[in-house]
Amino acid sequence: HFLIDFLWENVMLKKFINFCLCMLIIASYAGANEFELKNVDPDFMGTYIQVGFDEVLKKTMSFDKAYYSNVGNYPILMLHENICYSNSGFHDGFAVKSSDFKKWNFIKRGEQRIIVDEFGVSHKRISRDWKDGYDILEAYIINVIFQDAVHLNNISIDGDEVWIDGEVFRIDLGINFCEGENVSLWLIGSQERYALSIEGIAGKLYNCKKGRWAMMVEKADTVYKTIPYFYWNDKNYPNVRSRSLSKDEYRFIRNLVYAKHGYIFKSEDLKNIFEKFDWYKPDSSYNDSMLSSEEKRLIKNVQEEEKEKN
């Protein structure tokens, strides 16, 4: 009786297992169809980020502030030929449902491609490559934050990595586990995490310490590395914002105008500063007539602000 009962139970067990396997196959097939896209325009394939995220990132020079300003459902989109991945939600490898995809609008503006999702949130394409979306996003953020510092001869960017004084750092996108005020970017060195903060035109890499919870890290008070001329808004030169700077930083901005035209400095400290930049080309033929009206206005503004602060 025991043997018969055991065999009977095994037969029933096998049937139950086969039934479960069939259900899993059917469910996975149905799930795959739920995220399978059709009639995707090849001209729109690529990696996208929210327009709002991009605007806050460039305005504040802070990935933290851009990340937490996110008001839409998809901070990043990676549109393939038959599927669109995102870092939003926890279903099917973060894919977008085909039913939602049908509600999207696709806009061409010259070379730019814009996607407006079902929530009315706009996304701009930052690369035609859709295979390495996260690496592309990291490289994009690093290039925005380090747009001025990269002209220093001790800093270089290699894809999604930045080299500072011969040490390599990668961006840390997992900022939900990081805490600290006025952080522009969280970076990971060979072993440690660091918090990059832009203070005036200087950049400071702060050490990190263990946070209140096991997986949390916090910005410490100790500075690991200082980059004196990290950010001076060179992209908008000569419309440089120069308020709330230190005495040395005012002097740098004021002499930056002359350095842009190759002025050969007599002061050794200024000479040493500007020789660190790849754009500085000494020109013995320099004269003040080379300065534009905007550059003269910048010098005047800086001088007035220096006097006001002193």
**Per-domain residue ranges of the chain:** 42-131, 146-227, 235-309
Place of tokens 């297992």: 17
Rounded to two decimals, what is the model's pTM? 0.82
Q: Could you give the CA distance from residue 39 to residue 145 in angstroms, rounded to a whole number? A: 37
Contact present, 203 and 230 (Cβ < 8 Å)? yes
Type of residue found at 240:
V
The pLDDT assigned to 4 comes to: 44
Which helix (H) or strand (E) segment is 193 a member of?
Answer: strand 193-199
Place of tokens 């995809």: 101
Task: Count other C-beta atoms under 10 Å from residue 261's C-beta.
Answer: 17
The pLDDT assigned to 86 comes to: 86
Return the DSSP state at 179: E
Structure tokens at 290: 């080379």
The pLDDT assigned to 9 comes to: 52
Cα angle, residue 169 at apex, residues 141 and 272 outer, rounded to 5° = 90
The pLDDT assigned to 90 comes to: 44
Smallest Cα–Cα separation from 185: which of 91, 62, 272, 88? 62
Q: What is the pLDDT along the chain (310 residues), one digit of tens a residue?
A: 444 444 445 555 455 555 555 455 444 444 558 889 998 999 999 999 999 999 999 999 999 899 888 766 778 899 999 999 987 654 456 889 999 999 999 999 999 999 999 999 999 999 999 888 889 999 999 999 999 999 999 999 999 999 999 999 999 887 777 888 999 999 999 879 999 999 989 999 999 998 877 778 999 999 999 999 999 988 888 888 767 788 888 999 999 999 999 999 999 999 999 999 999 999 999 999 999 999 999 999 899 988 887 7
- At the top level of CATH, the class of 235-309 is mainly alpha
Residue 151 phi/psi, 5-degree rounding, is: -80, -5
